Amino acid sequence: MKILVVSNLYPPHYRGGYELGCHDVVRGLQARGHRVLVLTSTYGVSEPTRTEGVWRVLDHEIDRAERLPLGPLTRFGQLARREQRSRAAFLAAVLAFTPDVVYFWNLANLSITVAFLAESSGTPVCYFVSDPWLANWEQDPWYALWHGTAPRFRRAAGGRWTRLPLGVLKQLPKMLLPNSPLALRHTQFTSRHLRKSALAAGKPVGHGKVIHWGIDLQRFPYRERRPPVTRLLYAGQVLPHKGVHTAVEALGILVSELGQTQLTFTIVGGAHWPGYESQLRGLVESLRLSGNVAFAGPRARHELTRLYHEHDVLLFPSIWEEPFGITPLEAMACGTVVVGTITGGSAEVFRHETNALVFPKEDARACARQLHRLVVDPILYAALSRNARAMVETRFTLPGMIDRLEADLERVARIGTGALS
Amino acid sequence: MRIALDGRPIAALWTGDRTYLVNLIRHLSATARGPQLCVYLREPDRTGTLCGNARYRVRRVPSSRGATWTPVAVPQALTQDGIDVFHAVYVVPPLAPCATVVTVHDVSFRLFPRWFSLREYVMQTLLVGLSMLRSRLVVVPTFATKRDIVRTFGLSPRKLRVTPYAAARAFSPQDPAESAAAVARRHGLTRPYVLGVGFGHSRKNVERLVLAWQSVMRNVAAPTSLVLVGHVSPAARAALTRRLDSALHELVRFTGYVRDEDLSALYAAAEVFVYPSLYEGFGLPVLEAMASGTPVVTSAVSSLPEVAGNAAVLVNPYSVDAIAVALGDVLESRGLRGDLRERGLRRAAEFSWEHCAWQTAQLYAEAASLTPEE
């Protein structure tokens, strides 16, 4: 099968687990004899590049948090250029590769037009959804410009002299974008929570399959720990909605109120939002935790296993609706006990007092209570560690995930070509 | 999504509420994908701050009595305008027809009731407490304030969101010579001087600052003046002056309130900025001084260590000796001043109103999506 994978980011230039998982799956599919071409953005490279199996040619918008306000004309020009390049790049890839199926991963910050082009091309299309982009795809700025702002503008400026030029303007969206929404005939979600969110947002994905992430157990081997529990870890992007501050505050409670001065906390991850890391550093200073907390910055993926093995507890204090959470699965595979929140998809993995300990989001005191239980109860710690590994082995392995994805993609390709009615 | 903001604090010049709202509106309306804003006012904006643009409009919501504006007039306007989220500072309507978000800068009235009259204490505790209970989300500027609210009101931490403030763009490093000239021209001040800002409330700890400065000046050959910005009542001035040695009387200057542009020059020309406040929800002057390239000495209590990070000398604000030692060290050491200046500039640059506005816009979306019981 020839599979054209479209992903906004792709290693070695990445930010989070979504694109790392994409890389794992692409390699897994290639190992099973499928031909895969990855179409991704120019994120991390200075100019468009085409190498064997990976085309880095799509325009990627930087995150809203980092984007400075632009004037309307500059913004329009920027978007129009992105549209033109994205269309050309996608069509070139389809013509050159002639895929059996177009497999969309993350389209956040890419032009949604490529999905419209794919759906109208006749090639079977499947979406693998591991964050909320699909539920909010109408927020694509080009789409929103024509389908959101323009009608409002027309209503507001419905005067006699503006009617004719606006009448012309009204026809433009039809020429540039189809009026119907994305069909989304074949979708795969990494959690029931994501499918529910997309359904709640009115997307026609009731038929979507739930295929949980899988972990490469060889890369993340189990290692038994011995008491005492002293080393805490956070691994992930250092962003406000990841709730790292809750973990720091919990450590403050453990150190100052419960006398657990031996505890250390390593924060590993890139600070894509510099203001937040400085907030955290200020919090660490104000709680007098400078000797207990280390900011280790971003680490290469191959270092993660060692980090999990060197730490006793992984903190996962997320406050947003997590799509799924790959990091906790990796840590659990390594035997590192997870203490976290069950927001969003995490609830499908964590079982309180069975394979993890959970606490309400933003509740530092509850987090500290759960951590303290691990510190004083080595039997509980050992049981959680073993159960977590067993759960990953039975439900969340990478080969198992690729089996399900492959079977579903073959089904999509067959339906798309009319081989199966 | 349609957002309405309570814009009344904009009329109160020289306050942190005004600074917060003005910067929030300015940056929310400049965000590429920001919400549609409507700013509600009871009286016309006589300060000329709000002019409206394509992203926000200003609406006057009339009310015959001030007391009925929030509970009666605002809910009517919210219904008429089809607003999704109403955002106010401290107090929201008890029966709003939409989601509400409340910003609480600090809870000094709960922690230090002695600074307030009984009426102020009871009213603020009731109104702010009910507003926080009623609101879907509560916005606070620091984790310290969040902890204070959880401790004093017993509010669930799940409702609280931290969105730090920042120094306005008017505060930026300036040429010391130019700043000194501007300061001399506008206020008749000559360098060198130590600067204190924001007085007019007991918590600002002006008395200990003055005594600490006096303690340092007694031991130096060439004294440095002390410039105090903000409202200090004539009685308080007289009381402060009485506690000073007569030789130092002439060296203490009170400027009253000054505009941000002038304040920036005052910061930039100062040898050191001292802010020994006993309690702050955020402590904006610390960041403003840092952004102006001025070394900072501040308190090691409440939110101030969190805001200052490792870019200021932190002192026990209840100890005159501790403030004096820190002030003396900074005045004596050019190297320490240079180091603090560099660290302060870096620290101030880590905060921005763009981020604050972006975070707040995310909170609006979150508040609109939450059900009331969440």
B7-56 pLDDT per residue, tens: 998 877 667 788 899 899 988 887 656 678 899 998 887 777 777 666 78
Residues with Cβ within 8 Å of A46's Cβ and at least 6 positions away in sequence, in order, are: none
| Alpha-carbon distance A69 to nearest alpha carbon in chain B (angstroms) | 6
| Alpha-carbon distance A344 to nearest alpha carbon in chain B (angstroms) | 14
| Alpha-carbon distance A281 to nearest alpha carbon in chain B (angstroms) | 7
Strand pairing partners for B197?
B229
Residues in chain A with CB shorter than 8 Å from the CB of B160 are 362
Nearest 5°: phi and psi at A225? -105, 155
- Cβ of A359: how many Cβ atoms within 10 Å? 23
- Where b means 16+ CB within 10 Å and e means fewer, A224-263 reads ebeeebebbbbbbbbbbbbbbbbbbbbbbbbbeeeebeeb
Residue B230 has a pLDDT of 84
Residue B270 has a pLDDT of 92
Residues with Cβ within 8 Å of A173's Cβ and at least 6 positions away in sequence, in order, are: A146, A147, A150, A179
Closest CB to B143 among A65, A68, A245? A245
User: Which residues does chain B have with pLDDT short of 70?
Assistant: 13-14, 31-34, 52-54, 199-200, 372-374
Question: Which ranges of chain B does DSSP label H, i.e. alpha helix?
Answer: 16-28, 66-68, 74-81, 108-111, 118-134, 143-153, 176-187, 206-217, 234-242, 260-269, 284-291, 304-308, 320-332, 334-349, 353-369
| Alpha-carbon distance B270 to nearest alpha carbon in chain A (angstroms) | 25
In a domain, B9, yes or no: yes
Same domain assignment for residues B184 and B132: no
Residues in chain A with CB shorter than 8 Å from the CB of B33 are 64, 139, 141, 144
Q: Where are the domains of chain A?
A: 2-214+399-417, 231-396
Closest CB to A275 among B30, B158, B355? B355
Same domain assignment for residues B360 and B300: no
Kindly report the average pLDDT of chain A as a whole number: 86
Among chain A residues, the shortest Cα distance to B309 is held by A282
Peptide bond into B157 cis (omega under 30): no
In a domain, B226, yes or no: yes
Residue pointed to by tokens 């590192």: A336
A14 pLDDT exceeds 90? no
Residues in chain B with CB shorter than 8 Å from the CB of A144 are 33
Report how far residue B340's alpha carbon sits from residue B337's, in angstroms, rounded to the nearest whole number: 5
Mind listing the pLDDT tens digit for each residue in A348-391? 999 999 999 999 999 999 999 999 999 999 999 999 999 999 99
Mind listing the pLDDT tens digit for each residue in A190-239? 999 999 999 998 899 888 999 999 999 999 999 998 889 999 999 998 98
Same domain assignment for residues B159 and B182: no
* Contact between B45 and B58 (Cβ < 8 Å): yes
In a domain, B70, yes or no: yes
How does residue A63 score in pLDDT terms, banded at 50, 70 and 90? very low
* Contact between A58 and A43 (Cβ < 8 Å): no
Residue B37 has a pLDDT of 87
Report how far residue B296's alpha carbon sits from residue B274's, in angstroms, rounded to the nearest whole number: 6
Question: For the domain A2-214+399-417, what is the CATH code?
Answer: 3.40.50.2000
A71 pLDDT exceeds 70? no
Mind listing the pLDDT tens digit for each residue in A260-300? 999 999 999 987 776 788 889 999 989 999 999 999 998 88
The answer to whether A69 contacts B30, with C-beta atoms less than 8 Å apart, is yes
Question: Between these two residues, A105 and A65, which has the higher pLDDT value?
Answer: A105
Strand pairing partners for A340?
A316, A358
A417 pLDDT exceeds 80? no
Do A2-214+399-417 and A231-396 come out as alike in CATH topology? yes
Same domain assignment for residues B152 and B17: yes
Report how far residue B146's alpha carbon sits from residue B158's, in angstroms, rounded to the nearest whole number: 10
| Alpha-carbon distance A390 to nearest alpha carbon in chain B (angstroms) | 32
A173 pLDDT exceeds 60? no
Question: 3-class SS at B55?
Answer: coil
C-alpha pair distances (Å), A242 with each of A276, A280, A421, B71, B198 = 11, 12, 45, 36, 35
Token pair in block for residue B346: 């870096």
The answer to whether B33 contacts A64, with C-beta atoms less than 8 Å apart, is yes
The answer to whether A361 contacts B158, with C-beta atoms less than 8 Å apart, is yes
Among chain B residues, the shortest Cα distance to A201 is held by B369
The answer to whether A245 contacts B162, with C-beta atoms less than 8 Å apart, is yes
Torsion-angle region of residue A204: left (phi > 0), alpha (psi -120 to 50) or beta?
A: beta
Report how far residue A330's alpha carbon sits from residue A353's, in angstroms, rounded to the nearest whole number: 19
The answer to whether A362 contacts B158, with C-beta atoms less than 8 Å apart, is yes
To probe the interface with B, which of A78, A272, A278 has the most B CB atoms within 10 Å?
A: A278
| Alpha-carbon distance B296 to nearest alpha carbon in chain A (angstroms) | 15
Among chain B residues, the shortest Cα distance to A149 is held by B33
In a domain, B170, yes or no: no
Residues in chain B with CB shorter than 8 Å from the CB of A279 are 143, 162, 164, 306
Residues in chain A with CB shorter than 8 Å from the CB of B30 are 69
Question: Between these two residues, A387 and A112, which has the higher pLDDT value?
Answer: A387
Residue A175 has a pLDDT of 53
* Contact between A90 and A99 (Cβ < 8 Å): no
Same domain assignment for residues B116 and B191: no
Residue B39's CATH number: 3.40.50.2000
| Alpha-carbon distance B172 to nearest alpha carbon in chain A (angstroms) | 18
To probe the interface with A, which of B302, B306, B363 has the most A CB atoms within 10 Å?
A: B306
Q: What's B41's DSSP letter?
A: E
The answer to whether B305 contacts A282, with C-beta atoms less than 8 Å apart, is yes
Same domain assignment for residues B320 and B194: yes
Closest CB to B350 among A64, A275, A286? A275
The answer to whether A283 contacts B143, with C-beta atoms less than 8 Å apart, is yes
The answer to whether A65 contacts B355, with C-beta atoms less than 8 Å apart, is yes
C-alpha pair distances (Å), B4 with each of B66, B77, B146, B314 = 18, 10, 24, 39
Candidate from A67-71, A79-83, A195-199 with smallest mean pLDDT: A67-71
Percent of chain A with pLDDT over 70: 87
Q: B interface toward A at CB cutoff 8 Å?
A: 30-33, 143-144, 147, 156-158, 160, 162, 164, 303, 305-310, 347, 350-352, 354-355, 358-359
In a domain, B15, yes or no: yes
A78 pLDDT exceeds 80? no
In a domain, B220, yes or no: yes
Same domain assignment for residues B144 and B276: no
Among chain A residues, the shortest Cα distance to B353 is held by A275
Question: Between these two residues, A155 and B54, which has the higher pLDDT value?
Answer: B54
* Contact between A216 and A24 (Cβ < 8 Å): yes
Question: Between these two residues, A282 and A140, which has the higher pLDDT value?
Answer: A282
Could you report the predicted ipTM of this complex, rounded to two decimals?
0.71
Same domain assignment for residues B357 and B269: no
| Alpha-carbon distance A54 to nearest alpha carbon in chain B (angstroms) | 32
| Alpha-carbon distance A140 to nearest alpha carbon in chain B (angstroms) | 10
Q: A interface toward B at CB cutoff 8 Å?
A: 64-65, 67-70, 75, 139, 141, 144, 240, 245-246, 249, 273-275, 277-279, 281-283, 285-286, 360-365
Share of chain B residues as helix, strand and coil, in percent rounded to the nearest 5: 50, 15, 35
Same domain assignment for residues B108 and B234: no
Residues in chain A with CB shorter than 8 Å from the CB of B358 are 64-65
The count of C-alpha atoms lying within 13 angstroms of the C-alpha of B230, restricted to the half-sphere facing its C-beta, is 18
Q: What architecture (CATH level 2) is domain A231-396?
A: 3-Layer(aba) Sandwich (3.40)
Regarding pTM above 0.90, the answer is no
Same domain assignment for residues B8 and B100: yes
Token pair in block for residue B16: 């942190």
A167 pLDDT exceeds 70? no
A158 pLDDT exceeds 70? no
Same domain assignment for residues B222 and B242: yes
Same domain assignment for residues B249 and B306: yes
Residue B255 has a pLDDT of 87
Domain count for chain B:
2
To probe the interface with A, which of B136, B355, B364, B366 has the most A CB atoms within 10 Å?
A: B355
- Whole domain around residue B101: which residue ranges? 2-165+353-369
